[in-house]
Structure 1
Amino acid sequence: MKKENKVVRSKLEKCEKLNKLLSEEKKFSYLELTKLRNELRDFLRNQLISIDKLSNKTILMDYTGGEIIERSKFDKSAKLIVFKSKMFKDGDEIRGIKGYFVKNGKIQLKIFKRLDKDIYVCVGNSEVFSVNKGKHYLELKSKLLLDDNTIIGFYFPEGINVFYSKNAENFCIVHSDILLGDKLKLSNDKCYTFSLGVMGYFN
């Protein structure tokens, strides 16, 4: 009987040692997996940050708008101009505004969705920027993602603050305040070219 107990005790001790080894191995594997997962997550996060910084470099971006040059006129009586020559597509994204500003002031982007041939509705706004006199690029805090059949406008709370000329028909001057949800009818009359546009990635 004593001999049998000794054999059973010996087997039990072996089982306990084996169980301890398996537990330690499992714990080690879990720690290693957690460490690897954290390292991979940090690596991907850093890569995404690098890609985002690179994508914000203007040399890689598309530009649409008027040529950024000093022109002969500016009109501070109105507050909104709409760039009608570029109909944006789904997935287009705006990263910033580029312009030749007459003086210090403020500017805001507005997004319009086409409802009918010349009828649009205001569906979005950017933050309001403070701008200084001269040529400047203004980077948006958050990129604006656009849908099909959208155009953009530029709102100047203190009156239009950009040079323009009458030698083309890219922009329309709007003499009424357009708020989010308001409709806008664009006319082919009184259209000009402004030293203003947007930068981003467009299809």
Structure 2
Amino acid sequence: MRLLLALCVVGFLLGGCAAPTEEMKKLQLQNSNLQGELAAAKESISELEQQKADLTGQVEQLTRISGTLEREKAVRVEETGQLRQGVRSFVRSQLSSLREFSKNEDFLDYSGGELIERSGSPGKSVSLVDTQNTMGYNGTLYGIRGQFSGPVALRLAVLRPIKQRWVVVWNTEKLEVKKPGLQQVDFPVPVSVEAGDLVAYQFPDEMPVACDKGTGGLLMIDQQLESGQKLQQQQVGSFQGYACSIGVVGILGE
């Protein structure tokens, strides 16, 4: 009996000592794993810090490059603006010289009534649509030429026949003729026309242009025309149209 009790005590003591040893091994294994994870985390953090430093350097370099490009762009824009301004000035001077040469040498095409002295004038605010002298070709108009009895303000409208209507596709700003006699006034900007287009001469105040009634194809309209306006096409009856000493100059058949 005593022997059996002694064996039980020894077994209990041996079992109690074995349990802490297994637990210790587990703790050591976990500690080892944590140490490995910590080392891996430190290595990852080190790599990320290096990447951050590299990216920071790249950002700084790109910022410097961007600043340089912005300065270069500003310089190019300024140079381009100066170049465009110079080209525009040159083109304007060349166009002015060409117009003056064309006017002096009678080089431009003319479309309109004969520039002669006539017996009368409507003498009121009207628009005259030239149904007789339609544009025979595509081209560019540079101004108005006419026989005027005094100073006058006028505008030119370009009408395009579309589906039995005349559509106002262009309207110049107000032009001023300052002297009487045979005068030519140039448009600030050349006006493009197409074959079949008509022109209308608009006189907001009065019309000091020499005209004869019943011998031409100018149709009188008691209104000022606006861009985009549509008019019903009309035919000039016999002995009803006006013939006036006014027309347009340009280069037709381009």
TM-score by length of 1: 0.69
1:120 is aligned to 2:170: no
Give the structure 1 partner of residue 98 of structure 2: 54
Measure the CA separation in 2 of the matches of 1:69 and 1:112. Answer: 26
Bigger Rg over Cα = 2
1:188 is aligned to 2:236: yes
1:88 is aligned to 2:108: no
Measure the CA separation in 1 of the matches of 2:92 and 2:224. Answer: 39
- Deviation, 1:136, is 0.5
SS at match of 2:98: helix
SS at match of 2:116: coil
1:71 to 1:181, Cα distance in 2 relative to 1, 3 A? same
SS at match of 1:200: strand
Runs of 4+ in 1 over 3 A off after TM superposition: 45-52
SS at match of 1:145: strand
SS at match of 2:154: strand
Q: How does 1:169-180 map to 2 (within 5 A)?
A: 169-180=216-227
Unaligned runs of 5+ in 2: 1-85
Q: May I ask how many residue pairs the two structures share in their alignment?
A: 160
Measure the CA separation in 1 of the matches of 2:172 and 2:94. Answer: 24
**Structure possessing the higher relative contact order (Cα contacts under 8 Å, 6 or more residues apart):** 1
TM-score by length of 2: 0.56
Measure the CA separation in 2 of the matches of 1:149 and 1:82. Answer: 13
* Larger strand fraction of residues: 1
Q: Deviations over 1:139-171 (max 9, x none)?
A: 112110112331101000102221111352231
Q: What percentage of residue pairs aligned between the two structures are identical?
A: 21
CA root-mean-square deviation: 2.6
Amino acid at match of 2:205: E
Unaligned runs of 5+ in 1: 1-41
Amino acid at match of 1:134: G
- Deviation, 1:120, is 0.4
Measure the CA separation in 1 of the matches of 2:188 and 2:91. Answer: 20
